[in-house]
A and B are shown apart, each in its own frame.
Chain A
Amino acid sequence: MEDLIRDIKRRLVDNLQLDRSPDEIDTDAPLFDEGLGLDSLDVLELVVMLDRDYGIEILNMDEGKKAFVSVRGIAEYITAKKAPQ
Chain B
Amino acid sequence: MKREVVVTGVGIVSAVGVSPDETWNALREGESGLTSFSLLSSAKYAGVPTGQVSADLATLSGLEHSCRPNRMALMAARQAVQESFPDGGSRILEKAGVILGACVGGMAESEMFLQRLILENVNDPHLLRFHECASAAETVAENLGLFGPCETISTACSSGSNAIGLAADMISSGERDVILAGGIDSFSRLTLNGFGSLLLIDGEGCRPFDEQRKGISLGEGAAVLVLESEESARLRNAPILARLSGWANTCDAYHATAPAPDGDGIVRAIHCALDQSGLSPEDIHYINAHGTATIDNDRAEAAAIRMVFTDPMPPVSSTKRFFGHTFAAAGAIEAVVCVLALKNQAIPPNAGLNQLDPQCPVRIQRNFESSFISNVMSLSLGFGGNNNCLILTRDQE
Direct A–B touching in the complex (beta carbon < 8 Å)?
yes
Q: Select from chain B the residue with minimum beta-carbon distance to A61.
A: B199
Contacting residues, chain B, for A85 (C-beta < 8 A) = none
CA distance A47 to B197 in the complex (A): 10
B258 in contact with A44 (CB, 8 Å): no
CA distance A82 to B257 in the complex (A): 34
Q: Does B235 contact A (CB under 8 A)?
A: no
Contact of B256 among A41, A47, A48 (CB under 8 A): A41
Contact of A48 among B197, B255, B257, B258 (CB under 8 A): B197
A40 in contact with B258 (CB, 8 Å): yes
Q: Does B198 contact A (CB under 8 A)?
A: yes
Q: Select from chain A the residue with minimum beta-carbon distance to B296.
A: A40
Contacting residues, chain A, for B255 (C-beta < 8 A) = 40
Q: Select from chain A the residue with minimum beta-carbon distance to B256.
A: A41
A8-46 CB contact bits vs B (8 Å, 1 = yes)? 000000000000000000000000000000001100100
Smallest beta-carbon distance B213→chain A, Å: 15
Contacting residues, chain B, for A47 (C-beta < 8 A) = 199
Smallest beta-carbon distance B253→chain A, Å: 16
CA distance A44 to B257 in the complex (A): 13
B256 in contact with A44 (CB, 8 Å): no
Which residues of chain B in 50-95 are interfacial with respect to chain A, using CB atoms and an 8 Å cutoff?
none
CA distance A47 to B196 in the complex (A): 13
CA distance A48 to B197 in the complex (A): 9
Count of A-B contacts with CB under 8 A?
A: 9
Contacting residues, chain A, for B258 (C-beta < 8 A) = 40
Task: Count chain B residues whose beta carbon lies closer than 8 angstroms to a beta carbon of A.
Answer: 7
Contacting residues, chain A, for B199 (C-beta < 8 A) = 44, 47
B182-203 CB contact bits vs A (8 Å, 1 = yes)? 0000000000000001110000
CA distance A47 to B258 in the complex (A): 18
Smallest beta-carbon distance B193→chain A, Å: 12
Contacting residues, chain A, for B197 (C-beta < 8 A) = 44, 48
Contacting residues, chain A, for B198 (C-beta < 8 A) = 44
CA distance A40 to B257 in the complex (A): 10
Smallest beta-carbon distance B40→chain A, Å: 22
B218-256 CB contact bits vs A (8 Å, 1 = yes)? 000000000000000000000000000000000000011
Q: Select from chain A the residue with minimum beta-carbon distance to B197.
A: A44
Contacting residues, chain B, for A44 (C-beta < 8 A) = 197-199
Contacting residues, chain A, for B256 (C-beta < 8 A) = 41
CA distance A11 to B115 in the complex (A): 27
Contacting residues, chain B, for A40 (C-beta < 8 A) = 255, 258
Q: Select from chain A the residue with minimum beta-carbon distance to B199.
A: A44
Q: Select from chain B the residue with minimum beta-carbon distance to A47.
A: B199
Smallest beta-carbon distance B218→chain A, Å: 18
CA distance A44 to B258 in the complex (A): 14
B260-292 CB contact bits vs A (8 Å, 1 = yes)? 000000000000000000000000000000000
CA distance A31 to B258 in the complex (A): 20
Q: Which of A40, A44, A47, A48 has the most B CB atoms < 10 Å from its CB? A: A40
Smallest beta-carbon distance B161→chain A, Å: 25
CA distance A40 to B294 in the complex (A): 15
Contacting residues, chain A, for B257 (C-beta < 8 A) = 41
CA distance A47 to B198 in the complex (A): 11
Q: Select from chain B the residue with minimum beta-carbon distance to A60.
A: B199
Contacting residues, chain B, for A41 (C-beta < 8 A) = 256-257
CA distance A40 to B296 in the complex (A): 12
Contacting residues, chain B, for A48 (C-beta < 8 A) = 197
Smallest beta-carbon distance B255→chain A, Å: 8
CA distance A47 to B199 in the complex (A): 11
Smallest beta-carbon distance A17→chain B, Å: 15
Smallest beta-carbon distance A70→chain B, Å: 23
Smallest beta-carbon distance A15→chain B, Å: 13
CA distance A41 to B258 in the complex (A): 10
Which residues of chain A in 28-85 are interfacial with respect to chain B, using CB atoms and an 8 Å cutoff?
40-41, 44, 47-48
> Which 7 A-B pairs rank lowest in CB-CB distance, beginning with the nearest?
A44-B198, A44-B197, A44-B199, A40-B258, A41-B256, A48-B197, A41-B257
Of the A-B pairs whose beta carbons lie under 8 Å apart in the complex, a sample of 9, sorted by A's number, is A40-B255, A40-B258, A41-B256, A41-B257, A44-B197, A44-B198, A44-B199, A47-B199, A48-B197
